[in-house]
Amino acid sequence: MIDDTAGPEAPVLSEGGHVFRDLNKNGELDAYEDSRLPIETRVDDLLQKMTLEEKAGLMFHPAIGMGAEGQLLEEPGPMNPIPTSEYLYEKKINHFNLYHIAPLKKTAEWYNRLQKMAERSRLGIPVTISSDPRHSFSDTLGASLFTEGFSHWPEQLGLAAAGDEAMVEQFGDMARQEYMAIGIRVALHPMADLATEPRWARCNGTFGEDAALSAKMTAAYIRGFQGEELGPTSVACMTKHFPGGGPQKDGEDAHFAYGKDQVYPGDNFDYHLIPFDAAFEAKTAQIMPYYGRPLGLDLEEVGFGYNKDVVTSLLREKYGFDGVVCTDWGLVNDVVVNGEVLFPARAWGAEDLSAAGRVRKIIEAGCDQFGGEFCPELIVELVNSGELSEERLDQSVRRLLRDKFRLGLFNDPYVDVQAAESIAGREDFVAAGELAQRRSMVLLKNGDSASGTVLPLRGKPRLYVENLAPELAGRYGQVVDTPEEADFAILRLQTPYEKREGFLDGLFHAGDLDFKGPDLAHIMEVCGKVPTIVDIYLDRPAVIPEITAQSIALIADFGAADSAVLDVIFGQFSPTGRLPFELPSSMEAVRAQKEDLPCDSENPLFPYGFGLSYS
């Protein structure tokens, strides 16, 4: 653990803890420290003061961890592979991705300790902290992180199902404030990808398969986090995954070698760019390319982060994007734990290059920063050997510094620890998230021709429940132990997936989308004994013809608490959501559809945009 003693490059501290740094001969601050000057002037001044090693360090963006009480970690661990002080003082790194955290007040304390450590470096460049989404119910390392103490909202899919741009912008504004309360200033989201391949494990992070809807939602999301212009009250959005990660071959994910290929059998590459057009109009600060390598196009068949055709020719030149481009995580080096490769580098199409060769190719492609990596010495070696120019580094460093200045980090990087818990999880934020959960739910079936509508339920019926808190259900009806005793059963289900071997593989929901074997048999058994209401969490488009036929009512949610589900079932909230993707009728239809085309499975069970209501 690091205390508040000075680091190895510590200048003199003021009584308040801030550094009186780099006074010139006239006793004045250097230009980059002077908030009265234009940002470009400050960037120019700082850039010319930086060493090659400091520039290289700025171009890396690894994960960082903290102790349970908010300590800075000096012992290596899974989330902190090297000591915190080595990150800052030896590697010169000052961008970090935060995964699992301490309680919010402790996290705010950790953040301030980290900024104090950074302030004691030679130039005092403040730290920028980033995060994956933290406001939905899913918890998958590298994709989305459920966070206690924050307001809880549906997934991006649910925001799309609600279809309200104003609500999405409100979400972004509230999430921005909660992020800022604990020091997070870069959102590694939104996902502007399109869920045109229903088996893809990342569907839940998208706004669905329709490009026009996704474009509207993406722009609103960015406005909520950033405002009209990036500034001291903004959280910068790193919109991903350019140029669209949805068309994964056979639905496999490009985190893994077996999913490294993106294909376009419908010749629909440009369709996937439409949401990014909206992101650029909304002035997204940063962009992340995906891992996948495009096949069958007039593009080099290497991963998008390595791909000069995509990053320079398309993103930089055609779209004119001059913001930060950060690779997805882990393109250069294998992650090795106890002598074994836990995650191989996602160097698709560049597997035969050395680590230094991969770094050079990524920079030459037009990227500015390496997500999940911490090897700035490779850049130093490439410049010293003449394989890269320092002038090329300056282009990237300028973009990275510009965002730190625009976010106001050089003026005051610290957070108010006492305010962290009062801002995060504020009552109105929580209420807005709960309302969004209810607005996102989609009523797919309500009774049949023989019985008429069933929902909303009335009175205090006897209820048999599964995967739903009995004590909560008891507020709405009388909970019984068996289906035979019940007037209705309520089953909460999740979209099926194939459990994969491997640590990260096992966390991703991939493969077939239909219920099979004992799982399906049990659901059918309950439906055969009592009128059954099914709520299914759709993180991907489930294939549920049997459940649709046998249930008496069917609801889809995209991240919702039990209370939200029960409120809809009992009519305390009337459902208004619409499906953000179609639900296929069979796995045969899924396998026959084309990965890059929206809404193209044969005879879908429920079409895109479907949704019933009580009125």
Task: List b or e across 506-519, with b for residues whose CB sees 16 or more CB atoms inside 10 angstroms.
Answer: eebbbbebbbeeee
Measured CA to CA, the distance from residue 54 to residue 196 in angstroms comes to 42
Burial profile 125-148: b = 16 or more Cβ within 10 angstroms, e = fewer: bbbbbbbbbbbbbbebbbbbbbbe
**Greatest alpha-carbon span in the chain:** 90
Write the secondary structure of 564-586 as one string of H (helix), E (strand) and C (coil). Answer: HHHHHHCCCCCCCCCCCCCECCC
Residue 283 has what DSSP assignment? T
Determine whether 600 is an active site residue: no
Catalytic residue selected from 328, 403, 539, 567:
328
Each residue of 356-380: b (16+ CB within 10 Å) or e?
bbbbbbbbebbbbbbbbbbbbebbb
- Angle of helix 390-406 relative to helix 39-49, nearest 10 degrees, comes to 140
Beta bridge partners of 452: 448
Pick the closest to residue 345 from 288, 260, 262, 261 (CA basis): 260
What element of type H or E holds 118? helix 104-119
Which residues partner with 490 through β-bridges? 465, 533
Give the DSSP H or E segment for 308: helix 308-308
Residue type, 344: P
Q: How many CA atoms lie within 13 A of 381 on its CB side?
A: 9
- CA distances from residue 159 to 443, 516, 584 in whole angstroms, order as listed: 15, 30, 21
| Residue with token string 């050089």 | 410
Q: Nearest CA to 545 among 527, 557, 563?
A: 527
Which residues, including other chains, have CB under 8 Å from residue 173's CB and lie 6 or more apart? 224, 225
Q: Cα–chain-centroid distance for residue 398?
A: 25
Q: How far apart are CA 53 and CA 372, in angstroms?
A: 18
592 C-beta neighbours (distance < 10 Å), count: 12
Going from the C-alpha of 246 to that of each of 209, 490, 592, the distances in angstroms are: 9, 33, 16
Q: DSSP string spanning 6-59?
A: --TT--PBPTTS-B-----TTS---GGG-TTS-HHHHHHHHHHH--HHHHHHHT
Amino acid (1-letter code) at residue 63: A
Active-site positions read 328
